[in-house]
Amino acid sequence: MASLLGRFCRKLVVPGSAHGSRMTSTTACGSETVKSLNLYSAINQALHIALETDPRSYVFGEDVGFGGVFRCTTGLAERFGKNRVFNTPLCEQGIVGFGIGLAAMGNRAVVEIQFADYIYPAFDQIVNEAAKFRYRSGNQFNCGGLTIRAPYGAVGHGGHYHSQSPEAFFCHVPGIKVVIPRSPREAKGLLLSSIRDPNPVVFFEPKWLYRQAVEEVPEHDYMIPLSQAEVIREGSDITLVGWGAQLTVMEQACLDAEKEGISCELIDLKTLLPWDKETVEASVKKTGRLLISHEAPITGGFGAEISATILERCFLKLEAPVSRVCGLDTPFPLVFEPFYMPTKNKASSSSSLSSPSKNTHFLIHGFSRLL
Amino acid sequence: MRLAISATTYRMVLLLRDSHQIQSLVIVTPWWIRSQVLVHTKTPIVMDFPGGKVAFTPEIHFISESNEERVPCYRVLDDNGQQLTNSQFVPVSKEIAVKMYSDMVTLQMMDNIFYEAQRQGRLSFYATAFGEEAINIASAAALSPDDVIFPQYREPGVLLWRGFTLQEFANQCFGNKSDYGKGRQMPVHYGSNKLNYFTVSATIAYSLLTQLLPNAVGAAYSLKMDEKDACAVTFFGDGGSSEGDFHAALNFAAVMEAPVLFICRNNGWAISTPTSDQFRSDGVVVKGRAYGIRSIRVDGNDALAMYSAVHEAREMAIREHRPILIEALTYRVGHHSTSDDSTRYRSADEIEWWNKARNPLSRFRTWVESNGWWSDEAESDLRSKIKKEMLEAIRVAEKTEKPNLNHMFSDVYDVPPLNLREQELLVRQAIKSHPQDYPSDVPL
């Protein structure tokens, strides 16, 4: 019953989407009240709960007071007061620096950076202060109560400075965590986990899904564990790994591949740092093939880390080189966005598909369409 | 200006007149026109603008880049340590004064001995606070133990005042297992949560100096929200005031109404860069007003002035929920650090002059002695006691073993994740196969 409900609990309003062959539900949504919510509403709910359950928690950033440019902070200032939910001056290094100070005093600071594209002035604070706060003090101090939220990713018309996926920069910083949800229900649970995690977390929200994705989201207070990847679709021929909005694309690709007789296993990484190698490794040992997909430019993208690690651990089980289908090595273009994006129909020129095995024919053919 | 107006307007004009906006009013009413009013406006009409009323001016006038006179510097003692006749200051008890002076001496001696230890190769690195002892100690004395400190790296005196022992200083410098920082950072990167002194950030080799400033503002906001009788205090130098974080922090502090003290040690030099290459404003004090922050310039080598300024600033910060900027003028008598030889970019005469003429210790000592609270005997007793303690502290610190290897991996997160546990295994394997390639004084 639970698994049946689990299958139908999740609904993505994306043209042509259908439920996967099996959905692993991480929440018992059958027994709790659920409500159909989009991504920004789910995040809003999480923030309401976070502020409600901890009186020493704060939400702030540019334009947060009136509800935020993406409406994620709607109603918070009215409900919890301007001392706890407030606008800040236009200065990311100040916003994050101020948040670190609050967190260092034992508060929870949920900081909003208006677009991930603007996070760079705060990079120094994140890398040199937040990430090292506990370590350098010998655990006398920490700023674990800090969570930095930022909308990331393509939105259809964002161009250079409203579309970036900067997760790779942050995955290179020991001391912080990087979390990216794929859907409203995931976002609420992961955000609450991030806020309550005793380490500073950078939480990227796929802005394309703020209104686009609608899902049944439980109304209660629940958390989804960090550093645990989820197999959201089981398969036997190839493993696909992704995060955030890209999973919607990959899910579509899996459905198309199924028609060709290719059984795909799809994994949502959820937490990129520290990432769940065990789940991906187990899957690749089963399927023998790995394909990683992300919007961020391919060179130096997080897919490279996954590829290198899986190669080390699964070399003898691999039937083909690891494949990455990602954004191009250009600044994110406006008019050319449809060509830039790693869409499901993108031709893969990866040589990983040409390896002798009984399914080679299907795989080469399938994957040139798959990606 | 002539206006033809109706009776209603005439009444409005009378109101304006009564509000002193109008210099004179002449009413002329020829029979064929309703009323004619001559209005001479005294001041231009003001208009409401975001942030308040702004007067207009018909003159094209640029605000000068600097005031004609520099902001004066508050001091209580003259160069010789004599109290100035009309000086205002917060009285200091004998106990406090003696502790202040003793700690200044201790700081100076500690710096001397650690510096020498580095020169002898026993320490990897050190940075002294020579010439800035009054800033260090007097500011600490004026604060309460609950005030949280976000230091730069030239303020160990604040820790000293609060009770950090010479042994604890030595442990950090030698990076042994008793170091609270667990051997992770270079010498002088002290921290103590017990004493509310946040761990020093920023390796001195880089120019990242003021990252802790915005953190201090957040901490101050927390203190305000928790209604604590405490403020946050943060230190930085003249060079640090050029960093973006300084500007971010001041602006935030003003807008958030955070009880934080920004104490600038303007010691004339940022490594080899003199203040003339650092900014073109009248120092740092004038920047406060740009952000809406009350500010003061103080003689940083005058312990009494520093004490009073910090004392008053703290009161205002906590009572009025506002930040205060204090620019303490001083001089960096020592080199930037043991990696620096400052005679390469400044004259030895200049250093000597400041060390003699404006020495903070001698000035304060004169004043303390003038009250009958100190003597030559007390001085020599103190100095021999400190020397003995220091040498013992170094001896013990040097002998104490280093922190265990597992501390390389702990505290990156609250709990080591899997990748770190794996990496620790790999490192230990490597050590096992090639022990001669690794330092033998780190216990495994």
Q: Which residues, 6+ apart, have CB-to-CB distance to A39 below 8 Å?
A: A183, A184, A187, A205, A206, A209, A210, A211, A212, A213
> Over its length of 371 residues, how does chain A's per-residue pLDDT go in tens digits?
333 323 333 333 333 333 333 333 444 445 679 999 999 999 999 999 999 999 999 999 999 999 999 999 999 999 999 999 999 999 999 999 999 999 999 999 999 999 999 999 999 999 999 999 999 999 999 999 999 999 999 999 999 999 999 999 999 999 999 999 999 999 999 999 999 999 999 999 999 999 999 999 999 999 999 999 999 999 999 999 999 999 999 999 998 888 888 899 999 999 999 999 999 999 999 999 999 999 999 999 999 999 999 999 999 999 999 999 999 999 999 999 999 999 887 633 333 333 334 343 334 444 544 44
pLDDT digits (tens, 9 = 90+) for B111-146: 999 999 999 999 999 999 999 999 999 999 999 999
Tell me the one-letter amino acid at B300.
G
How far A37 CA lies from chain B's nearest CA (Å)?
Answer: 33
Identify the pLDDT of residue A346: 63
CATH 1.10.10.10 given to domain B94-399: no
Residues in A touching B213 (Cβ below 8 Å): 97
| Contact criterion met (CB below 8 Å) for A262 and A312 | no
Check if A92 is active-site: yes
SS3 readout for chain B: CEEEECHHHHHHHHHHHHCCCEEEEEEECCCCCCEEEEEEECCCCEEEECCEEEECCCCCCCCCCCCCCCCCCECCECCCCCECCCCCCCCCCHHHHHHHHHHHHHHHHHHHHHHHHHHCCCCCCCCCCCCCHHHHHHHHHHCCCCCEEECCCCCHHHHHHHCCCHHHHHHHHHCCCCCCCCCCCCCCCCCECCCCECCCCCCCCCCCCCCHHHHHHHHHHHHHHCCCCCCEEEEEECCHHHCHHHHHHHHHHHHHCCCEEEEEEECCEECCEEHHHCCCCCCCHHHHHHCCCEEEEEECCCHHHHHHHHHHHHHHHHHHCCCEEEEEECCCCCCCCCCCCHHHCCCHHHHHHHHHHCCHHHHHHHHHHHCCCCCHHHHHHHHHHHHHHHHHHHHHHHHCCCCCHHHHCCCCCCCCCHHHHHHHHHHHHHHHHCHHHCCCCCCC
Whether the predicted pLDDT of B48 surpasses 80: yes
Q: Is a pLDDT exceeding 70 seen at residue B82? A: yes
Evaluate if residue B332 carries a pLDDT over 60.
yes
Q: Give yes or no: A162 in active site.
A: yes
Q: Which residue of B has its CA nearest to A199?
A: B413
- Min Cα–Cα distance to chain A from B176, Å: 12
Give the minimum alpha-carbon distance from A80 to chain B in angstroms, rounded to a whole number: 13
pLDDT value of residue A4: 33
Say what the pLDDT of residue B31 is: 59
First-to-last alpha carbon distance for chain B, in angstroms, is: 90
Is the pLDDT at B204 greater than 50, yes or no? no
Tokens of B150: 């976000």
Please tell me whether the interface predicted TM-score (ipTM) of this complex is above 0.90. no
Cα distance between residue B199 and residue B192, in whole Å: 7
Mean local confidence (pLDDT), B383-400: 97
Q: Is any Cβ of chain A less than 8 angstroms from the Cβ of B330?
A: no
Q: Is A349 touching B (CB cutoff 8 A)? A: no
Contact at 8 Å (CB) between A82 and A58? no
Domain map (residue ranges) of chain B: 2-55, 94-399, 408-437
Backbone angles phi, psi at A63, to 5 degrees: 65, 20
* Chain B contact for A81 (CB, 8 A cutoff): no
CB contact under 8 A, A101 and B252: no
* Lowest-confidence region among A103-117, B16-30, B214-228: B16-30
Residue B85, judged by CB atoms within 10 A of its CB (0-12, 13-18, 19+), counts as exposed
Q: Does B147 touch chain A (CB under 8 A)?
A: no
Q: Strands A177-179, A201-206: parallel, antiparallel or unpaired by DSSP?
A: parallel
Interface residue A356 vs chain B (CB under 8 A): no
Question: How confident is the model at residue B200, as a pLDDT?
Answer: 87
- Encoded tokens for A278: 């065990």
Question: Which are the contacts of B370, defined by CB distance < 8 A and separation ≥ 6?
Answer: B81, B82, B83
Q: Does B178 touch chain A (CB under 8 A)?
A: no
| Closest residue, chain B, to A101 (C-alpha) | B215
- Provide the annotated active-site residues of B: 332, 336, 345
Query: Looking at A48, A62, A129, A162, which residue is catalytic?
Result: A162
Q: For residue A78, what is the enclosing H or E element?
A: helix A76-80
- Residue A172 near chain B (CB below 8 Å): no
Position A272 scores a pLDDT of 98
**How deeply is B349 buried, as exposed, middle or buried, from its count of CB atoms within 10 A (0-12, 13-18, 19+)?**
exposed
User: Cβ contacts (< 8 Å) between A138 and chain B: which residues?
Assistant: 179-182, 184, 191, 199, 411
Whole-structure pTM value: 0.89
The alpha carbon of residue B235 is apart from the nearest alpha carbon of chain A, in Å, by: 15
Which of A264-278, A357-371, B50-64, B392-406 has the weakest average pLDDT?
A357-371
Non-local (6+) Cβ contacts of B25 within 8 A are B13, B14, B17, B37, B38, B39, B40
Which residues in B lie closer than 8 A to residue A174 (C-beta atoms)? 412
- Asked if B408 has any chain A CB less than 8 Å from its own CB, the reply is no
Of B26-35, B173-182, B287-296, B329-338, where does mean pLDDT reach its minimum? B26-35
At residue B193, does pLDDT exceed 90? yes
Identify the pLDDT of residue A348: 37
Segment among A102-116, B28-42, B353-367, B390-404 with least mean pLDDT: B28-42
- The alpha-carbon gap from B184 to the nearest alpha carbon of chain A, in Å, equals 6
Q: Collapse the DSSP code of A7 into the 3-class scheme (helix H, G, I; strand E, B; otherwise coil) and give the result.
A: helix
What pLDDT score was predicted for residue A162?
Answer: 97
Number of A/B CB contacts below 8 angstroms equals 149
What pLDDT score was predicted for residue B47?
82
**Cβ of A101 and B219 within 8 Å?**
yes
